[in-house]
Structure 1
Amino acid sequence: MPSGTILVADDDAAIRTVLNRALSRIGYDVRATSNAATLWRWVQQGDGDLVITDVVMPDENAFDLLPRVKKMRPDLPVIVMSAQNTFMTAIKASERGAYDYLPKPFDLNELVTIVGRALAEPKRAHPAHGPEDVEQMPLVGRSPAMQEIYRVLARLMQTDLTVMIFGESGTGKELVARALHDYGKRSRGPFVAINMAAIPRELIEAELFGHEKGAFTGAQARSAGRFEQAEAGTLFLDEIGDMPMEAQTRLLRVLQQGEYTTVGGRTPIRTDVRIIAATNKDLRQLINQGLFREDLYFRLNVVPLRVPPLRERNEDIPDLVHHFFAQVEKEGLPRKQIEPAAIDRMRRYRWPGNVRELENLVRRLAALFPQEVITDAVIKSELEDPPLAPEPAPPSQDETLSGAVERHLESYFKSFGERLPPPGLYHRIVRTVEQPLIGAALAATRGNQIKAAELLGVNRNTLRKKIRDLDIAVIRGGG
């Protein structure tokens, strides 16, 4: 039979009654109060083996009381409950040393399970840490799906566990990763993000691990990779499903041995980086297709975290809309309000672009619509499918290639945020284009290097040097 004394503090008599009956029936001794002063007196007297407390009480906030409790009795587990179900509530509970956090309304069976686990664990301190005040909310939403994310993040903040974030495009996977970094033990270190889908596959290894001078054509100086830039901080690997197999093998070595070598280097480099990965793809399907290493998947998937699409948490839309309107107002755009009927329409919309689509809509409303109050009619017109435009004439092959390269380079530069890519970009890009171009010319001429040189408009000796430098396989020699 379970045993122990549980101290309950909540100004809601109904909750005190429910907890008293449920916990007493199991075998616990329960003492309940409606105020923080009585709870503090019990703690000072050495009473109780566990505390369950609401955050907001008539005489004192539990977040102000918690540091004193943990200082006096560091091994006393405290479970915090709150109807203020935000990300920062969960974070503050963790920062101030709470054993766990439960949003109201809570699941009674879950609470009983947490109580049993807390009392069964060896007594150990849960030290408080982290910033006292937070000026802005990194994550927004009070839905059950977001509450679960907040609780998981709060438990992960002071660990270095590798996290895999799953979710559709636009759900806010990078925001979750940034929150995990900004409020975690590595917050003083750098947060470095790299999007695998935005970087040419041939360059990913050099971007991740850096390269030495002379490692390839155009490598005129040593360049630091993202691992080196993220040292003592967090490296966020976005769209990990787009990572080529060669880079996957090198990443697996880092996760297994804690070291890597630069491209063209021979000396192993020890690394101290927390890895957070994210994907909008089904990695299991990629594994079955031979496109993703199963051993790497298990190394990355230590803690899986799913970010739900907006259609699964449409009750968060009002909070998100007001949050985005407040953001754009700070940026200098006019203050806006929105009709309840307009919010209802937004909650019925499926949001294929998820939170990113909602944010773009709010910015568009603030910038383009003069009225102070956004009506249902405006939202209806914005969310309706736009009329089909006449199909443009197909561009020429040169225009298609040029446009594709331009879009790819734009994505590549955006992946660095406000920073610039490492030096030697021109030669890396040229090398990336040269390799498939020469390979295609050789394939078209059935490996005849004389004809391939004529087709490309280069000297035959130059072509031979390129084939050797770029390690291009020639199917059949022709000269």
Structure 2
Amino acid sequence: MSAGRILVVDDDAAIRTVVREALRRDGHIVETAASVAEQRRALASFDPHVLVTDVMLPDGNGLDLVPEILAGHPNMPIIVLSAQNTLATAVRATEQGAFEYLPKPFDLAELSRVVADALAMRSAASGADDVSPPAEDIPLIGRSPPMQEVYRTIARVVANDLTVLILGESGTGKELVARAIHDLGRRKTKPFVAINMAAIPRELIESELFGHERGAFTGAQMRTAGKFEQAQGGTLFLDEIGDMPMEAQTRLLRVLQEGEFTTVGGARTIRADVRIIAATHKDLPAMIAANGFREDLFYRLNVVPIALPALRDRSSDIGELARHFLDKAAQEGLSRKRLGEDALARLAAHGWPGNVRELENLLRRLAALSREDVISGRMIDQALAGGGAEPMPQLFAGRGLEDSIETHLSAYFASFGADLPPDGLYDRILAEVEAPLLRMTLAAVKGNQLRAADLLGINRNTLRKKLTDHAIDPGRLRRSGPA
């Protein structure tokens, strides 16, 4: 490790001492300062190779001073330390031109590594990137160490168009991360287009991605732009990429390699000016080993991986997330609720197999159904056990519904005699049950899709897709109300 002159600025004497001694053990020459004024004097007299500075100083903001410092010391990497551990802080540090951002409390070994990297790259230019200012309301909540790593990676990629692969269990917020990367980057004024590979029939995926010409296949009565064309200039989010059929993977790889595509049935080449962000909850290396995913496509997508932690691995964030979701529910018209003293302990003890999405749905359900203003631990236990905020009557007594369906299915099979019904029976039966359930639920809430999604326990995008699939008009149900 090459030695260098390091200036450490922090108003906490204990932190200055600990950092100074750790860096001196690495062989560096270290000076310290406790304020902006002392920092300015040290910059002039000590002429450091690397600056390590806190954000909140008694006479100023260390982050605000980064551009000014870089103007006078353009080759000096600046490492920012902050207890304000949010995505906005990480992105702003990168935007201001900082070499690295480390959230407090930080690991001394990591600081040592970052200082070494800064010295090694000292000759590289580190001017401010062309990044749009972060939005006030960034929908990523949490200050836990695993989320800090996510924030730091996001901050590094918003200023460029590198392909990002977001990995994580279902419900961890992969689309929120994709949207944050788009909204904080240079393409934020252009479209953000999302497509879920798991929700599209395999025979329609190429048409959905690349569009089709009139007459390209049966039912193609007009030219339709695909997601690549709709996202031109912006970002295309390929959700659940692990569910993409192999033949579609081949065509996607070709587009990523060549940067252009043609519509299904078309001959004209279209330039693909999009940033690609993909996501999956599946183990892609295992799929590659089982010949279920193309290895070359994986390497094309896995340029910058972002691994989202499961909620059970960031339990310190649960309280902040819970309050955020209750506030959000109140802003959307549901009753304002707050958590009782024992409720947080119950939430922290749960394993959250559905991750952040499960937590949000639970709290929205409690906000919608609870008669109490304060959510208690007992109510949390009851809701997690499968009940609502209040005891619910049994939906179907005994085997009533099961017996009725069995009777109808017996008659259906009998109608074919010795033959079997056509293939696809499972989906047809589900559709026949699902359609009346959707209509009855929407009628009961007078067409309010947000309320209907809460009652059904699904998210609003899923509900909208199901309404489209079943050609159900919520506007008509809003006018007619319950029967």
Report the TM range for the smaller structure's normalisation: 0.7 to 0.9
Aligned residue for 1:439?
A: none
Aligned residue for 1:53?
A: 53
Q: Secondary structure at the match of 1:118?
A: helix
TM superposition shift of 1:212: 1.2
Q: Is the Cα–Cα contact under 8 Å of residues 67 and 128 in structure 1 kept in the other structure? A: no
AA partner of residue 151 (structure 1): R
Deviates more, 1:399-408 or 1:189-198: 399-408
TM superposition shift of 1:287: 2.3
Q: Is the Cα–Cα contact under 8 Å of residues 96 and 129 in structure 1 kept in the other structure? A: no
What are the superposed Cα offsets for residues 405-427 of structure 1, whole Å, 9 maximum, x if unpaired? 5769x99x947979x99xxx99x
Aligned residue for 1:197?
A: 198
Q: Is the Cα–Cα contact under 8 Å of residues 131 and 159 in structure 2 kept in the other structure? A: no
TM superposition shift of 1:35: 0.6
What are the superposed Cα offsets for residues 303-335 of structure 1, whole Å, 9 maximum, x if unpaired? 222112111111110010011112122223333
AA partner of residue 136 (structure 1): D
Partners in 2 of 1:222 and 1:157 — Cα distance? 34
Aligned residue for 1:4?
A: 4
TM superposition shift of 1:108: 0.7
Aligned residue for 2:85?
A: 85
Runs of 4+ in 1 over 6 A off after TM superposition: 415-418
TM superposition shift of 1:259: 1.2
Aligned residue for 2:290?
A: 289
Partners in 1 of 2:210 and 2:46 — Cα distance? 54
Partners in 2 of 1:95 and 1:247 — Cα distance? 37
Partners in 1 of 2:95 and 2:187 — Cα distance? 14
Aligned residue for 1:379?
A: 380
Partners in 2 of 1:68 and 1:415 — Cα distance? 48
Q: Secondary structure at the match of 2:348?
A: helix
Aligned pairs (5 A) from 1:13-92? 13-43=13-43, 47-92=47-92
Deviates more, 1:283-292 or 1:108-117: 283-292
Aligned residue for 2:219?
A: 218
TM superposition shift of 1:229: 0.9
Partners in 1 of 2:169 and 2:21 — Cα distance? 43
Q: Secondary structure at the match of 1:218?
A: coil
Aligned residue for 2:443?
A: none
Aligned residue for 2:166?
A: 165
Aligned residue for 1:142?
A: 143
Q: TM-score, normalised by structure 1?
A: 0.81
AA partner of residue 333 (structure 1): L
TM superposition shift of 1:114: 0.8
Partners in 1 of 2:251 and 2:12 — Cα distance? 56
Q: Secondary structure at the match of 2:118?
A: helix
What are the superposed Cα offsets for residues 53-94 of structure 1, whole Å, 9 maximum, x if unpaired? 111111111222122223333332110111111111111111
What are the superposed Cα offsets for residues 393-450 of structure 1, whole Å, 9 maximum, x if unpaired? 3465678543545769x99x947979x99xxx99xxxxxxxxxxxxxxxxxxxxxxxx
CA RMSD in angstroms, aligned pairs only: 2.8
Partners in 1 of 2:253 and 2:48 — Cα distance? 47
AA partner of residue 145 (structure 1): P
Structure-2 change in CA distance of 1:114 and 1:244 (3 Å)? same
AA partner of residue 64 (structure 1): D
Q: Is the Cα–Cα contact under 8 Å of residues 75 and 126 in structure 1 kept in the other structure? A: no
Q: Is the Cα–Cα contact under 8 Å of residues 44 and 72 in structure 1 kept in the other structure? A: no
Q: Secondary structure at the match of 1:340?
A: coil
Structure-2 change in CA distance of 1:126 and 1:83 (3 Å)? same
Partners in 2 of 1:133 and 1:257 — Cα distance? 32
Q: Is the Cα–Cα contact under 8 Å of residues 74 and 127 in structure 1 kept in the other structure? A: no
Partners in 2 of 1:153 and 1:49 — Cα distance? 27
Percent identity, aligned pairs only?
A: 54
Higher relative contact order (CA 8 A, sep 6+): 1
Partners in 1 of 2:264 and 2:191 — Cα distance? 23
TM superposition shift of 1:241: 1.3
Partners in 1 of 2:93 and 2:74 — Cα distance? 15
Aligned residue for 2:428?
A: 402
Partners in 1 of 2:49 and 2:314 — Cα distance? 37
- Structure 1, unmatched stretches of 5+, are 427-479
TM superposition shift of 1:228: 0.7
Structure-2 change in CA distance of 1:9 and 1:134 (3 Å)? same
Q: Is the Cα–Cα contact under 8 Å of residues 206 and 262 in structure 1 kept in the other structure? A: yes
Q: TM-score, normalised by structure 2?
A: 0.81
Partners in 1 of 2:45 and 2:236 — Cα distance? 47
Aligned residue for 1:274?
A: 275
AA partner of residue 159 (structure 1): N
Q: Secondary structure at the match of 2:189?
A: coil
AA partner of residue 190 (structure 1): P
AA partner of residue 271 (structure 1): A
- Structure 2, unmatched stretches of 5+, are 388-393, 413-424, 439-457, 471-483
TM superposition shift of 1:199: 1.1
1:345 aligns with 2:371: no
Q: Is the Cα–Cα contact under 8 Å of residues 211 and 224 in structure 2 kept in the other structure? A: yes
Deviates more, 1:278-287 or 1:399-408: 399-408
AA partner of residue 310 (structure 2): P
Aligned residue for 1:252?
A: 253
Partners in 1 of 2:134 and 2:301 — Cα distance? 32
Deviates more, 1:181-190 or 1:226-235: 181-190
Q: Secondary structure at the match of 2:79?
A: strand
Partners in 2 of 1:2 and 1:65 — Cα distance? 27
Structure-2 change in CA distance of 1:139 and 1:314 (3 Å)? same
Aligned length in residues: 421
